[in-house]
Structure 1
């Protein structure tokens, strides 16, 4: 039997969770392979590049779509549990795939002004060229990892988040070659400053950091940014970075845009945070490298054409 597509794995995956247990992604492999009567060869079949098992990857995408549609919860990173909506929809399994596709599409179109910029999964279109489909697939994989990064951060402590953002700014080049350039302040007496990056050896230049590990649907308002600017004034600093896992309200953004004087505040929302972590490779591993080549026209044009 052919390896099932990810949409064919959605309903069987939900059924495995119907007893209320929590399962890791790898726990789905054996029962699903039995359900689809897959051979060992099919279970272990790799992508042509040699990076990644096809069946495992399709299970991962099936679970990801079910989670995005609100039928599965992720109590911890890599763990899945069916929720009340998933249980209810399993009573009419014929509607599940349509429901998932509609909910994911609605999620993509939800671009309200005061919301964290959406991390979008885009459906491929048969009218796209092979190259366009490749780029779309790449962006979908990247955006699904953004979701995973933010979910993982929310499972960590506030102190761990503060250490993470200091490490990230150092990874981005702030602090340069200065030894111990990054510092997480003591929570009991931080004065509204969660971390500091030293820009020079003596510490005359400093970037002060505020880190808020908020749920993705909770906005950072103008008042919190004003408090941070006040904390910068007390610390006699004119540079600040406010980083959150959620998003900034329109009022907060406008306040920063209209700051007077020498004070500069940079806002980094959840999507930007995830993209920086991804791009600078903080806690990331390269899973696969795909090399696409095109013909060198100069080389071929230098050859004599047949008359």
Structure 2
């Protein structure tokens, strides 16, 4: 099992497993699917998978995102589709061990640090692993805005989000303190079938525990056929297990990362912006040309 190496950037150890994961999953996957796969495959303990960084984000997932960023720069991942990590043709056939991962990191720092100074602060390699990957800055900014909303404002905007994603008859009930349920909505599955869904919206920075999910389910009994728990934080593994436990009312879990994706896909609270990222791989051939 990988261990923390003091004085070295830790994310390099996830480059090989990240490629292995995408090959195992058919060439593409959602970011959290990748992190979860690596954690299960390597049997990583909670002290690695549950640790956080200063922003409150999950440290392990942050490092996997950094590994992904370097693999994109190396041309091993296709960066054309947002929210999905996809192998490039070169990535399909490339195997990365610890030595190659370290070489990729050092070479990329050597040729690209001056071009990336606007995104990566000058720091030790260990400090780099505790910063935010360039393509995650917007997500964290949106999460910051959502976390600063008052509780009722956050519940109202979650109700708006549900409407934008197909829910009908959405009602926010926080002010009536309906047993821990913040609102209801009707989800039509077909002209003949619909579900009454209750939601809970919490502006957490840290983790949502199993007990919180269990308490929400208890509030659902006799009131809704399905629950949606929305948070700006993240859920523990035990909370995820509780949400999918058989024989009880099912609960969908929407964490901060998924919440941002839902806002972006619905186009609410965000404006489209064209950003050009430097293609370092394109310039590599020219850097090797010496007169």
1:187 is aligned to 175
For the residues of structure 1 that align with 2:219 and 2:72, how far apart are their CA atoms?
54
**Aligned residues of 1:124 and 1:133 also touching (Cα < 8 A):** no
For the residues of structure 1 that align with 2:72 and 2:255, how far apart are their CA atoms?
34
Q: Report 1:20-59 matches (<5 A).
A: none
1:39 is aligned to none
Unpaired stretches in structure 2, ≥5 consecutive residues: 1-6, 19-34, 40-47, 52-56, 86-132, 277-291
For the residues of structure 2 that align with 1:130 and 1:186, how far apart are their CA atoms?
47
Unpaired stretches in structure 1, ≥5 consecutive residues: 1-98, 176-180, 291-307
For the residues of structure 2 that align with 1:104 and 1:161, how far apart are their CA atoms?
34
1:268 to 235, 254, 275: 254
Deviation at 1:103, TM superposition (A): 9.3
Secondary structure at the residue paired with 2:216?
Answer: helix
Deviation at 1:128, TM superposition (A): 2.8
**Aligned residues of 2:186 and 2:195 also touching (Cα < 8 A):** yes
2:156 is aligned to 163
Distance 1:279 1:135, change over 3 A: closer
Deviation at 1:123, TM superposition (A): 4.3
Q: Report 1:62-141 matches (<5 A).
A: 112-114=48-50, 118=61, 120-121=65-66, 123-124=69-70, 128-129=74-75, 132=78
TM-score normalized with structure 2 length: 0.51
Secondary structure at the residue paired with 2:74?
Answer: coil
What is the RMSD of the two structures over their aligned residues, measured on CA atoms?
Answer: 3.9
Q: How many residues align?
A: 179
Q: Greater CA radius of gyration, 1 or 2?
A: 1
For the residues of structure 2 that align with 1:124 and 1:266, how far apart are their CA atoms?
32
Deviation at 1:197, TM superposition (A): 1.0
For the residues of structure 2 that align with 1:243 and 1:249, how far apart are their CA atoms?
14
